[in-house]
Amino acid sequence: MANDKKFVEQITPMEEDFARWYTDIVKKADLIDYSSVKGCMIIRPYGYAIWENIQSILDKRFKETGVENVYMPLFIPESLLNKEKDHVEGFAPEVAWVTMGGEEKLQERLCVRPTSETLFCDHYANIIKSYRDLPKLYNQWCSVVRWEKTTRPFLRSREFLWQEGHTMHRTREEAEERTVMMLNLYADFFEQDLGMPVIRGKKTDKEKFAGAEATYTVEALMHDGKALQGGTSHNFGDGFAKAFGIQYLDSDNKLKYCNQTSWGVSTRIIGGIIMTHGDDSGLVLPPAVAPVQVIIIPVQQHKSGVLEAAEKLRKTLSDAGIRVKTDDSEQSPGWKFAEHEMRGVPLRIEIGPRDIEANSCVLVRRDNREKKVLPLDAVVTAVREEMDLLTKALYAKALENREKRTFQALDMEELKKIASEQSGYIKAMWCGDEACENKIKEEADLSSRCMPFNAESISDRCVCCGRPAKALVYWGKAY
């Protein structure tokens, strides 16, 4: 079963070439197609449906915390982008510029938004007057453009889809609270819904967002031991507020600057799902975001009653709110098994004449291919339970991979040795000096992924310079 040769052999095995395995999957599972615009991808129905499910879960959770959606313009006038010094330095080198409108040269260049802090600030300066107007908790779902040199589907593309939340607060503490709240919201989503364990922590100054005072991150580890920044949440303090003049009249009748946050996740999550859970048979999707959670395969479908029983089962599951489809095409069951495994459908149900006679069906899990015979009248409960178990199993497997691939180093020799032999996280202490961070980058080709919250101390000396250590850092190679 599940190994129709002609079909499966199209995917390069992971161990042979992980990068090719990845691109094989995004293409063969119909997630994306390449477009005529270099570095921009077409997100096909199956890939887009995953994104719609991600959106639907997160959008609901954002709104439960008081967030409201808005839509800001696609373009940022150059003068507006230039208002905050660090921000423009970070983004200007990689933006696309509109210089012509119709036949006419524009008086001022417009950049296609790489991120919208400047637009939100411009708007907030206009609408915030009093402490009664605060907090403002806005978010938008949109696409952004960054003119990257090397691109890969979902992971790094010149245009990608994301959400960007931008909030304004009365106090620094309130902004910090929101920054951490959104980071935890992301982390819970990754862990509980996507089955992806993440490290929650703070970025070093070198790695933080252009213009932010502090950037928090959730970092996931992919199957191959490379890290993926899953989502970030930034506290801007009042830096942008000062640059844009965003002031409110407080209850003590004094004008004060607002405190600001922003936070986002993008379609790169889909790349993360693929590289965390996928295997040599293809994609493995966590049920929470799978476009099809259950695929029903009728066995000996031309025999009397089989398609009717399959349809009855489909309707039962669908009525219970489960995303379910029946594949009654003319392909062989084996071909269908391979096809839907490749597309990562979490659960498969087989139903044929013998099952119908026994009033049962066969349930097969995508991750471990375990088979269970289920009585037909208990199928809804069983499917819900198996989806839950599957998510937890994905999490456990990914956590095991991370633990296996987490190392620690006390000095540079050790750090470089591990970095050259292994792929994963290296935990090491750091003095807080960017010079050491640069040296580690240069000599071991590792970047600082984050300083985890509540980290243990593994030494009191910096791994690089030997001076007193300030923080534990997770170092790694990253997508």
What residues line the site for its own copies (CB under 8 A)? 33, 35-37, 40-45, 48-49, 51-52, 68-77, 80, 92-103, 109-110, 112, 119, 122-123, 126-127, 138, 142-143, 145, 147, 158-159, 161
Min dist. Cβ of residue 71 to its own copies (A)? 4
Q: Smallest distance from the beta carbon of 171 to its own copies, in angstroms?
A: 22
Euclidean distance between CA atoms 249 and 254, whole angstroms: 5
Question: Quick one: 48 or 453, whose CB is closer to its own copies?
Answer: 48
> Around Cβ 66, how many Cβ atoms within 10 Å?
11
Taking the complex as a whole, how short is the minimal distance between the CB of residue 64 and its own copies, in angstroms? 13
Task: Give the residue with the Cβ less far from its own copies, 197 or 211.
Answer: 211
CB of 36 to its own copies, least distance (A): 5
The distance of closest approach from Cβ of residue 384 to its own copies in the complex, given in angstroms and rounded to an integer, is 23
CA 94 to CA 363: how far, in whole Å?
Answer: 49
> Cβ 120 to its own copies, closest distance in Å?
9
**Alpha-carbon Rg for the chain in angstroms:** 25
User: Between vectors from CA 421 to CA 156 and to CA 424, what angle results, nearest 5°?
Assistant: 45
How far is 72 from 165, CA to CA, in rounded Å? Answer: 12
Query: How far is it, in rounded angstroms, from Cα 387 to Cα 29?
Result: 21
Helices (H), 189-331: 239-244, 268-277, 306-319
Cβ-based nearer residue to its own copies, 71 or 357 = 71
Could you give the CA distance from residue 152 to residue 127 in angstroms, rounded to a whole number? Answer: 39
> In the complex, what is the shortest distance from the CB of residue 122 to its own copies, in angstroms, rounded to a whole number?
5
Strand intervals (E) in 300-403: 324-326, 347-351, 360-365, 371-375
Residue 239 near residue 208 (C-beta atoms within 8 A): no
> Residue 328: is it exposed, middle or buried by C-beta count within 10 angstroms (0-12/13-18/19+)?
middle
| CB closer to its own copies out of 122 and 176 | 122
Task: Name which of 158 and 365 has its Cβ closer to its own copies.
Answer: 158
Closest contact distance (angstroms) between CB of 46 and its own copies is 9
State whether the Cα torsion 269-274-276-277 is positive or negative.
Answer: positive
Distance CA 267, CA 103 (A): 34
110 or 309: whose CB is closer to its own copies? 110
State how beta strands 294-298 and 259-266 pair: unpaired
The smaller minimum CB distance to its own copies, of residues 59 and 414, is found at 59
Tokens of 327: 């594949």
Nearer to its own copies, 74 or 393 (CB): 74
Q: How far is the CB of 145 from its own copies (least distance, A)?
A: 7
What is the Cβ-side half-sphere exposure of residue 466, based on CA atoms within 13 angstroms? 2
Q: Are the C-beta atoms of 440 and 464 separated by less than 8 Å?
A: yes
Question: Minimum distance between the CB of residue 169 and its own copies, rounded to whole angstroms?
Answer: 17
Closest to its own copies by CB, 74 vs 465, is: 74
State in angstroms the smallest separation of the CB of 346 from its own copies.
Answer: 20
Cβ atoms of residues 447 and 475 within 8 Å: yes
Is 375 within 8 Å of 389 (Cβ atoms)? no
Our CB check for its own copies shows the closer of 100 and 255 to be 100
Place of tokens 């509109």: 98
Side chain identity, residue 360: S
Q: Which is nearer to its own copies, 251 or 300 (CB)?
A: 251
CA distance 479 to 449: 11
Candidates 255, 253, 259, 211; CA nearest to 232 is 211
